[in-house]
Amino acid sequence: MKIVIKGFIETSLVDWEGMIVSTLYVPCCNFRGPFCHNSGLILNPEQYKTIPIDRIINYLIKHKGWIDGICLTGGEPCLYEDVIDFIKRIREIGMKIKLDTNGTFPGVLRKTIEMQIVDFVAMDVKAPLEEEAYSNSIGVKGKNLLEKVKESINIIMSSNINYEFRTTVVPSLHKKEDVCKIAQYIKGAKKYALQNFVPQDTLDPDFMKIKPYDKSEMDEIYRLVVPYVKECQVRGI
C-alpha cells in the first residue's frame, strides 16, 4: 500500500511544540478506537480528495524559511510500505520530521530512528499495557498488537530521539489509577502528555455522549502521574 495524503494543514503552531510545521494526514488505521476523532479518515477515506505529493513538496520548498518541518499523522503512517522513502524525500529538502504513531510497527520505527531520518516521535499509549484494557481502547483484539506496542516503547526509550508518549483520557475507559499504571510502565520517560477527551466526531457515536473529566480531575491525574516521568503535560483543558 503506497502512502497517500488526505489532509494538509499548511501552517500549524500546535502539532509540534516550539515548531512551525505543515501537518499531513494519511488515511487508514489498524485500530478502531471508539473515541478516535478522525473517524472519517479511518472509515470513509474516499470522501477526502487525495493531495498530490508534488504540491506538498513544492509548498515546503517555497516556504522553507518559514516552515520548520512536517508532522506526519493520520490514520497510522507506518501502515504504508513506502513511508520511509516518503520521509526521506521530505528530509532531503531540509525539513524536520515529527512522526505520530500507535506503536504497532516497531520495525518501521526502529529503522527511522537508526537511519536518523525522524527528529521527534509522538506515540499513543491507549491504555494500561494489559490485553483486555488495551483491546477495549483500540477496538480490536490481539495480544500480538500489544506486544508490538511494548516493543515500540522500549525502542523509543532506549534511543536518543526526542519523543513523547501520550494518552487520551476517556472517563468510560480510563480510571485515574489506569493512567497511573501507564505512567509506571513508562517510568523515566522524557515526556508524557495527558490529552483530555473531546466528545466530537468519535468513531463510536455513543462516545459523543460521554462527559470529559473536568480540570480538577485532570489535575488530580497529573499529580498521580508526574512522579514517574521527567515531564508531564495536560492538554485540552
The domains located in the chain, with CATH, are: 7-168+197-204 (3.20.20.70)
Q: What is the pTM of this model?
A: 0.96
What tens digit of pLDDT does each residue of 124-140 get? 999 999 999 999 999 99
Yes or no: say if 62 and 11 are a contact pair by the CB < 8 Å rule. no
Local confidence band at 109 (pLDDT 50, 70, 90 cut-offs): very high
Yes or no: say if 18 and 71 are a contact pair by the CB < 8 Å rule. no
CA distance 20 to 210: 33
CA distance 31 to 140: 6
Q: Is the predicted pLDDT of residue 115 greater than 90, yes or no?
A: yes
Which tops the pLDDT comparison, 173 or 39?
173
Local confidence band at 213 (pLDDT 50, 70, 90 cut-offs): very high
Q: Is the predicted pLDDT of residue 39 greater than 90, yes or no?
A: no
CA distance 14 to 58: 22
SS3 14: coil
